[in-house]
Copies of this chain bind each other. A is one copy, B any other.
């Protein structure tokens, strides 16, 4: 269905993908307008529909693209089984920051996916959303939780870290420039604090 799109130059593809990601990530599905994307990255209105048929199709595509790309990177950089919970969650944030090199708004888009409440948007991306969650679970399965006396505790902490980092990342996106290194330091503060109390790994 999006074959035509892939026949273009990679550069132009990425320009359009980044435009769409930015607008969708910042405004959410319903409030994002195709005109915004035209302004953001030049490609004409007709072209978006030529490649993606509809706003729905575009959203499906971009979300699915973002998820696939993120899963791929996670796969490459987080696969060394046997990492501890803390190191892995921190590493995961570093991967996200790396992703921003190519697709600056990809991590924010993924956060917005997980928080999206618009029913239409949810139905359009249900597959991508689930496959992202599943991929994360697969990664989490490999975590070495032996440091924790009660395994259940580690899951609660995992959830807390995830929620907290998501919140912080959203804040960083609201600043004029996303300060990558500062963001990672901030995450590290939490990890170090937790390590001090709750398991060393």
Contact = CB atoms under 8 A, between A and B. Distances in A.
A187 to B, nearest CB: 11
Interface in A133-183: 152-153, 156-157, 159-164, 166-167, 170, 174
A118 B31 CA distance: 9
A28 interface: yes
Number of copies: 4
Contacts of A49: none
A153 B30 CA distance: 39
B30 A117 contact: no
Interface string A30-74: 110000000000000000000000000000000000000000000
A77 interface: no
Contacts of A166: 163, 167
Q: How large is the interface on A (under 10, 10 to 19, 20 to 34, 35 or more residues)?
A: 20 to 34
Interface stretch (A13-21, A81-89, A93-101, A189-197): A189-197
A174 B26 CA distance: 22
A8 interface: no
A190 B156 contact: yes
B153 A164 contact: no
A193 B117 contact: no
B163 A167 contact: yes
Interface centre among A26, A156, A166 (most CB of B within 10 A): A156
A27 interface: yes
Contacts of A198: 197-198
Contacts of A115: 115, 170
A193 B163 contact: no
21 contacts: A27-B30, A27-B117, A27-B118, A28-B28, A28-B31, A30-B30, A30-B31, A31-B31, A31-B118, A115-B115, A152-B193, A153-B193, A153-B196, A156-B189, A156-B193, A159-B167, A163-B163, A163-B167, A166-B167, A197-B197, A198-B198
